[in-house]
Amino acid sequence: MQLMRIGPVGSEKPVVRVDDQHYIDVSDAFRDFDEEFFAGNGIERLRSIVAQRADEAMPFQGERIGAPIARPHQILCIGLNYSDHAAEAGLTIPSEPILFTKSPNTLVGPNDDVRIPRGSTKLDWEVELGIVIGKRTSYLESAEEAKEAIAGYVLVNDISERAFQMERSGQWSKGKSAETFNPAGPWLITADAVPDVRKLGMRLDVNNTRRQTGSTSTMVFDPYYIVHHLSQFMVLEPGDLINSGTPSGVGMGFTPQVWLQPGDVMQLEIDGLGTQRQAVIAAR
């Protein structure tokens, strides 16, 4: 299944995508695709509802697409998780996942504008696979057990301000947590609908120029390892989002380096997870 939220900012309703033209409205059955939904076995309940409403599909009519999950309890991020990205950064492949956090209020829709923060000089892009947690999880015994804790996957653009991240002291979160820095969607695809999450093509263009071409096959740590590993250090809540890293081709990795400017347009996709398009706009 493909879960979406459509409507104005702050008033999105939960729907299930049927195809490019149609969706099934489930807002009468679920308040939102939020912590309560995932914790309450919402995906299985949703399957039954969708099966009963197969003849009730409605046409999309240009509604805004929001992030496919409501604001999560936390957004966790894994750094240097693609071997080619570590190489372009001139850094050693980590021996275990590098963890940093991103403010949950960075979450926006897949086609919403990305706003340059005040004082920014090095705004960058990162196409990533997002992992959504399906149940309260801690101290998992194995990667196989972790697989059962994953609700699904989303396309994410992990926007980064490299000067804030690298030059302003402290942890990487400074360069990751400005408003609009986490476009997600257009849909959450349930884990059962992904044949092999370790074989997904990834692409990102800026102004119609290809910047990133990669695959989840070059991940250092796959989603199951990541979830198992994180569960040893913290409780993962239903609806939490994990950004699992990016392949090579970020602006920081070019010579000379390339930074996003007002008016630039990013377009990105991951196989089976849809496409995004964001315009870059100036600081407030």
CATH number at residue 251: 3.90.850.10
Whether 46 and 85 map to the same domain: the answer is no
* Domain co-membership, 111 together with 210: yes
Instruction: pLDDT band for 84, please (50, 70, 90 cuts).
Output: confident
Q: Indicate if 266 and 182 belong to the same structural domain.
A: yes
| Residues 85 and 43 both lie in one domain | no
Domain end, chosen from 65, 80, 115, is at: 65
Domain residues for the domain of 224 are 69-281
- Looking at the structure, tell me whether residues 38 and 142 fall in a common domain: no
User: How many residues are recorded in the chain?
Assistant: 284
Read off the pLDDT of each residue in 210-231 and give the average, rounded to a whole number: 97
Which of 103-117, 141-155, 161-175 comes out lowest in average pLDDT?
161-175
On the question of pLDDT at 91 being above 80, the answer is no
H helix runs in the chain, sequence order: 35-39, 42-52, 83-88, 143-147, 162-167, 223-231
Domain-ending residue, one of 50, 65, 80: 65
Are 44 and 149 found together in one domain?
A: no
State whether 129 and 29 are in the same domain: no
Of 2, 22, 30, nearest in space to 12 by CA: 30
The mean pLDDT value for 237-265 works out to 97
> In the prediction, which pLDDT does 169 show?
85
Q: What is the mean pLDDT of residues 263-280?
A: 98
Does 135 lie in the same domain as 8? Answer: no
Per-residue pLDDT of 157-216, as tens digits, reads 999 999 999 898 877 899 999 999 999 999 999 999 999 999 999 999 999 999 999 999
When divided into structural domains, the chain yields a total of 2
Per-residue DSSP letters for 80-129? S-BHHHHHHTT-PPPSS-EEEEE-GGGEE-TTSPEEPPTT-S-EE--EEE
Co-location of 201 and 90 in the same domain: yes
Same domain, 61 and 102: no
The DSSP code for 226 is H
Query: Do 15 and 150 lie in a common domain?
Result: no
Rounded percentage of the chain residues whose pLDDT exceeds 90? 92
Domain boundary (21, 44, 65) is at 65
Indicate the pTM of the whole model: 0.97
The answer to whether residues 61 and 79 belong to one domain is no
Residue pair 84/253 in contact (Cβ under 8 Å)? The answer is no
